[in-house]
Structures are given as C-alpha cells and as structure tokens.
Amino acid sequence: MSTQNRTEHGEPGRDTVAGVGEFGLIRAITEGRVQPPTTLLGPGDDAAVVAAPDGRTVATTDVLVQGVHFRTDWSTPEHVGRKAVAVNLADIAAMGATPTSVLVGLACPPETPTELVTGLTAGMWAEAARARVGIVGGDMVRADQIVVSVTALGDLGGRAPVTRSGARPGHVLAVCGRLGWAAAGLAVLGRGFRSPVGVVNAQRYPEPPYAAGPAAAVAGATAMIDVSDGLLADLGHIAKASDVGLDVLTDRLRVDQRLVEVGSALGADPLHWVLTGGEDHALAATFPSYADLPEGWYQIGTVLMPDTGVTVDGRPYEGPAGWEHWR
C-alpha cells in the first residue's frame, strides 16, 4: 500500500487520486453498487436520505488513522476498509439496534494510488453487504497520511436502546463473539509472522456478531457494550455507568485451541488475550437471571453489588485491563 506514486516531474501520476480527481474517484467507488431498501437517496446529492422506521436514529462514528489503527504493511486496502465499517456497525449493534447505513470520510495524500482507494472501498462495500447496510455518502480531502472516518446509523425497531447503565446486582454477564483473537494476531504480526491466518486476519479486520445486539435487546438485555478495548476495560464502563461490580469467571470463558497453540508458540498466556485484548468487537451484556440467553450468547460471570469493580474469579486483575488511548 505504498503512497509514493509520482511522475518523473514530481507531479501525481494518472493512477493516483490527484490524477483521477475527486469526482472521477467518486464514480469509481459508487457506480454499480447496490443499496438496501433503507437507502432512499444514496450518493450524488448534498446529503443522503435514509429510512428511519422507528422514528429514532442511532448514530456513532470512529476514526482510523494509518500507523495507529492499521498498518499498510500488515493489511491490504480491503482489510482496512472492512475494519473501518465493522468497528462502527458493532457500536450500533451494542445499542440493540440494527445497522442501516454508513457515511465515509477519507483523507489521503494526493499521490495515493487510485487502486488503494478502490481496494479500500471494496472492503467497505463487502462489510456493508455482510451487515446488509448501504454506504450512502461521505467526503474526501487531502492529508499527509491516510485517515478513514466512518459514521454509522441504526434503527431500534421500536425498542428502547440498551445502554451501559442498566446492569443490576444478581443479573448474569454474558458475551457473544470472539475474544482474544485480534490480540493473538497482533502478537503474531509483531513477531514478523503472517500465520496462522485465522488469528492474523482477526487482527486485520473483526467480524462482529451484528445480529446478536438486537437479539439481546429482544431477550431483555439490561446493559450492553462493544468489546473494542479489551473485555475487562470495557466491562469497567458498564460497572461505572450502572454503579455495580462485575465478576468474570475464567472457567466460563472460551479459550479457543488455536489461541492456546499460538500462546504456546510465542510464550504468551492466551487467557490474558481473552481478558484484555481489544479489536475483536464481540458484544458483552447483562441479562436478568431468569432470561433465556439468545443463540450465540453464553454466561461468563455475574453482576455484584457496587464498590467491587471488575474482578476475575473474585479478585482484582493484575496488570492493564485493556487498551488506553494516548498512553
């Protein structure tokens, strides 16, 4: 994904974003794309029009910066595009909503190859199709490095949003989706390896369980969060917002055999990846003790009285609980 692409005179070549031009690039990434029924008016006007049957719209945004959230020597443009969309749609699902559409902001140097941008947007369209949402608009600007900003919208289907503040003592704590895979992939890539492909690809782009969010809401979830910075770190947000304690039981966590094998090869503890590794974008939620957990969800702990914080097997966890920005 090199961005060095200039003519012998130092001007951007024809196969760069500067050479193609803004509107030529827009045509290249939008023409022939299929939109879902929720897109009433897609790219091409000053703004898009998206259906909101519920009468309310759930909205979120994330920014991915080259060298911080992705590395161009580790990921293809398609990987980065998929990741940019997935991390946003996971937040929509964590509110108990169904994703409907995304808007994309792209900043890049003028000498950025056109094929990089078309690859990036191909990944976005692929992930959008997986979630059955439309890419309805956005913006492109010049910058010194690649920055991708995605805003996602969602529909609550007539339900109340599932926030972080509804957990109560006696509720059960459950998760849906993979934990620890992206952290294992990061460890593998950091050692200069590119396999096993399963864990490496988990770091390149997540596969959030989008449908699990609305399903949890229907089943009575009382609090929910997208696990982006690490299970323990993100559970801390629920504990604080709900004024409760949360205890994670390690014998309930599912540590995949592939993580065990990678941990053995690298001399690392796979349980640490599961507890503190971010970027898998699984969902964690609390439910009343009488609720039937939806398909794919499984209990990993319990909700306790306030002032206990987030514990592991009844004890504070030693070491960082997950990723912290600016540190």
| Amino acid at position 178, single letter | R
Helix 77-94 and helix 114-131, axial crossing angle in degrees, nearest 10: 30
228 is in an annotated binding site: yes
Burial 255-276 (b: 16+ CB within 10 A, else e): bbebbeebbeeeeeebbbbbbb
- Please name which of 237, 235, 239, 228 lies closest in space to residue 206, comparing C-alpha atoms: 228
Secondary structure letter of residue 187 according to DSSP = H
- Contact present, 89 and 208 (Cβ < 8 Å): yes
91 is in an annotated binding site: yes
42 is in an annotated binding site: no
164 is in an annotated binding site: yes
292 is in an annotated binding site: no
62 is in an annotated binding site: yes
Please tell me whether residue 10 adopts helix, strand or coil conformation.
coil
Please tell me the distance from the alpha carbon of residue 232 to that of residue 239, in angstroms, as a whole number: 10
Strand partners, 172: 287, 302
Please tell me the distance from the alpha carbon of residue 183 to that of residue 228, in angstroms, as a whole number: 11
138 is in an annotated binding site: yes
279 is in an annotated binding site: yes
229 is in an annotated binding site: yes
Compute the 3-state secondary structure of the chain and give helix, strand, coil in percent, each to the nearest 5.
35, 25, 40
Please tell me the distance from the alpha carbon of residue 106 to that of residue 29, in angstroms, as a whole number: 12
226 is in an annotated binding site: yes
Helix 197-204 and helix 181-190, axial crossing angle in degrees, nearest 10: 100
Please tell me the distance from the alpha carbon of residue 34 to that of residue 139, in angstroms, as a whole number: 19
323 is in an annotated binding site: yes
- Contact present, 136 and 42 (Cβ < 8 Å): yes
46 is in an annotated binding site: yes
Strand partners, 106: 140, 148
User: Which residues make up each annotated binding site for ATP?
Assistant: 138-139, 164, 228
User: Which residues make up each annotated binding site for substrate?
Assistant: 69, 279, 323
User: Which residues make up each annotated binding site?
Assistant: 46, 60-62, 69, 91, 138-139, 164, 226, 228-229, 279, 323
User: Which residues make up each annotated binding site for Mg(2+)?
Assistant: 46, 60-62, 91, 139, 226, 229
